[in-house]
Structure 1
Amino acid sequence: MDQQTKFKTALAALAASAETKDRKLTKADVKEFLEDMDLGEEQMKLVYAYLASKHIHVEGAELPKVEDTPYSQEEQEFLKQYEKDRKAFRQCAEEEKVGLFAKAADGDVQAKHRLAEHYMNWVLEIAEDYAHRGMMIQDLIQEGNIGLLIGLDTLGLMEEGLTSEEHLEKEIRHAIRSALDEQEGEKSTGDEITEKLNKMADAISELTEDLGRQVSPDELSLYLDMSLEEIEDLLRIAGETIEVADSQKA
Structure 2
Amino acid sequence: MSADNKSLIIKKLIENGKKKGVLSYKEIMDALMEIDLNEKQIDKIYEAIEAKGIELVEDFDKELEEIQSNQEEEEIDISVPEGVGLDDPVRMYLKEIGKVPLLSAQEEIELAERMHEGDERAKKRLAEANLRLVVSIAKRYVGRGMLFLDLIQEGNLGLIKAVEKFDYTKGYKFSTYATWWIRQAITRAIADQARTIRIPVHMVETINKLIRVSRQLLQEHGREPHVDEIAREMNMNEDRVREIMKIAQEPVSLETPIGEEEDSILGDFIPDSDAPAPSEMAAFMLLKEQLMSVLDTLQPREAKVLRLRFGLDDGRARTLEEVGREFKVTRERIRQIEAKALRKLRHPSRSKKLKDFLE
Place the TM-score, normalised by the shorter chain, in its bin.
0.3 to 0.5
TM-score, with normalisation over the residues of structure 1? 0.47
TM-score, with normalisation over the residues of structure 2? 0.35
Which structure's CA Rg is the greater one? 2
